Structure 1
Amino acid sequence: MIFDSAKNLDFYRNLGMDGRYEKAVDFLKNTDLESLAPGKYEIDGKNVFANVTEYTTVPWEEAKYEAHHDYTDIQYMISGSETMTYARIDELAEKVPYNEEKDVVFYDNENPGLKVVVKAGEYMIFNPWDGHKPKAAAGEPAFIKKVIVKIKEN
């Protein structure tokens, strides 16, 4: 898990394999993110793509821990703020088994985890071994817009 701000994106350019992080960083730096409509944006086929989402955050207890087997998430806040929570997957109890088609497994909410308020221009990077719980309100529920860049790891 990594928490950082837009000014440091270039630091992560050379992570991973086949220049995939570089493509993700270029997308985040060179795209007018605020003007993007919700939806999926192809960057490098199934290797790197982005999902733009808009929603109202929910109380922490209603948000769900999740993890992915094949993809790393860069969850970049475009506007608003939300609480994202991190916990190692070996510290979480599986609640909904892995769905290969959607590359997601869900866990119960028993672990309080490490909570981080992520504001516009900030992001968290969650690798496949990182349980994460997005969508939680940072205080009162509020409308947010973010982009989740998915980077294939295997």
Structure 2
Amino acid sequence: MIFDSAKNLDFYRGLGIEGRYGKAVDFLQNTDLENLAPGKYEIDGKNVYANVTEYTTIPWEEAKYESHHDYTDIQYMITGTETMTYAPVDALNVTVPYNEEKDCVLYDNANPGLKVVVGAGEYMIFNPWDGHKPKAADGEPAPIKKVIVKIKEN
């Protein structure tokens, strides 16, 4: 798990395989994110793509821990703030087993995890071994816009 801000994106450019992180960084740095409509954006086929989403955050207790086997997430806040929570997958209890089509496992909320308030221009990077819980409110539920860049790790 990594928490950082937009000014440091270039630091992560060389991670991973086949220049995929570099493509993700280029997308985040060279795209007018605030005016990007919600939806899926192909960057490098199934190797790197982005999901732009807008929603109202929910109470922490209602949000769900998740993890992915094949993809790393860069969850980049465009507007608003959200509490994202991290816990290692080995410290979480599976509630919905791995779904290969969705590349997702869901977990219960027994682990309080490490909570980070992520604001506009900040992001968290979650690798396949990182359980993460997005969508939680920072205080009262509020609207946010973010982009989740998915980077295939295998």
TM over 0.5: yes
CA distance in 1, matches of 2:24, 2:55: 23
Q: Aligned ranges for residues 12-91 of structure 1 at < 5 Å?
A: 12-91=12-91
What SS does the aligned partner of 1:140 have?
coil
Q: Distance in 1 between matches of 2:16 and 2:126?
A: 13
Measured in 2, the distance between the counterparts of 1:70 and 1:130 equals: 12
Following superposition, the deviation at residue 66 of structure 1 comes to 0.1
1:67 and 1:95 map into 2 onto residues whose CA distance is 12
CA distance in 1, matches of 2:65, 2:26: 28
What residue number does 2:9 align with?
9
What is the aligned residue count?
154
Distance 1:110 1:136 in 2: 15
Say whether residues 1:137 and 2:108 are aligned partners: no
The separation in 2 between residues aligned to 1:67 and 1:132, in whole angstroms, is: 6
Q: Identity percentage over the alignment?
A: 85
Runs of 5+ in structure 1 lacking a partner? Answer: none
The Cα of 1:149 is off from its aligned counterpart by: 0.1
Instruction: Please tell me the residue identity of whatever aligns with 1:118.
Output: V
- Alignment deviations for residues 91-141 of structure 1 (CA, whole Å, 9 cap, x no partner): 000000110000000000000000000000000000000000000000100
Structure 2 stretches lacking a partner, 5+ long:
none
CA-atom RMSD in angstroms: 0.2
1:72 partner letter: T
CA displacement 1:10-35 (0-9 Å, x = unmatched): 00000000000000000000000001
Shift of 1:57: 0.2
Letter in 1 for 2:112: P
How far is the alpha carbon of 1:37 from its aligned partner? 0.4
Q: Which amino acid aligns with 1:56?
A: T
Superposed displacement of residue 62, structure 1: 0.2
- 1:115 aligned residue: 115
Structure 1 runs (4+) greater than 3 angstroms displaced: none
Counterpart amino acid of residue 69 in structure 1: H
Indicate the residue corresponding to 2:152 in structure 1.
152
